[in-house]
């Protein structure tokens, strides 16, 4: 999938190092249990590759179209909210590119892709209340807080937008 500035494509094994620069960064991962190890990053790629086969979609690599530079990941995944499956749009962007509009641009492309290709009436993003940056991204995708849920033993806001 392409947007004005971005190319989104499936993960391949060669994405391990650039992805680990993001997922292994403590500041980037402060709203997770901590930065990922190299093995956890490898598992992240493998999990998304399984999603491509099992679900038909998953997080994709985000690259700058003009340079091919690896910028992060973004895409739809299935997430359970109170036992019900929903398509969630998630994202991670290299810290040196925060504020460049990468996450909103990729997220809007993924939101539109989900509504065009999947039989869903709503897409969501699970966001911790303190993650102000991701909350702003969700709002740029047209999402609003729909409800709260406990996910990974933490209370999350469920941002949502309907078709």
Per-residue pLDDT of the chain (163 residues; tens, 9 = 90+): 999 999 999 999 999 999 999 999 999 999 998 999 999 999 999 999 999 999 999 999 999 999 999 999 999 999 999 999 999 999 999 999 999 999 999 999 999 999 999 999 999 999 999 999 999 999 999 999 999 999 888 999 999 999 9
DSSP string, 14-27: GGHHHHHHHHT-TT
Burial of 14: CB neighbours in 10 Å, binned 0-12, 13-18, 19+: exposed
């Amino acid at each position: 999938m392409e947007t004005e500035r971005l190319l989104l494509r499936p993960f391949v094994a060669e994405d391990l190092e650039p992805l680990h620069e993001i997922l292994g960064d403590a500041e980037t991962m402060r709203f997770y249990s901590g930065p990922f190890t190299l093995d956890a990053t490898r598992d992240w790629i493998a999990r998304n590759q399984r999603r491509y086969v099992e679900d038909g979609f998953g997080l994709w690599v985000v690259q700058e179209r003009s340079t091919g530079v690896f910028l992060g990941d973004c895409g739809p995944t299935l997430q359970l909210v109170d036992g019900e499956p929903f398509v969630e749009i998630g994202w991670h962007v290299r810290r040196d590119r925060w504020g460049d509009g990468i996450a909103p641009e990729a997220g809007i492309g993924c939101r539109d892709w989900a509504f065009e290709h999947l039989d869903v009436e709503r897409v969501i993003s699970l966001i911790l209340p303190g993650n102000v940056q991701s909350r702003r991204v969700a709002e740029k995708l047209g999402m609003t807080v729909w409800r709260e849920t406990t996910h990974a033993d933490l209370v999350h806001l469920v941002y949502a937008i309907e078709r």
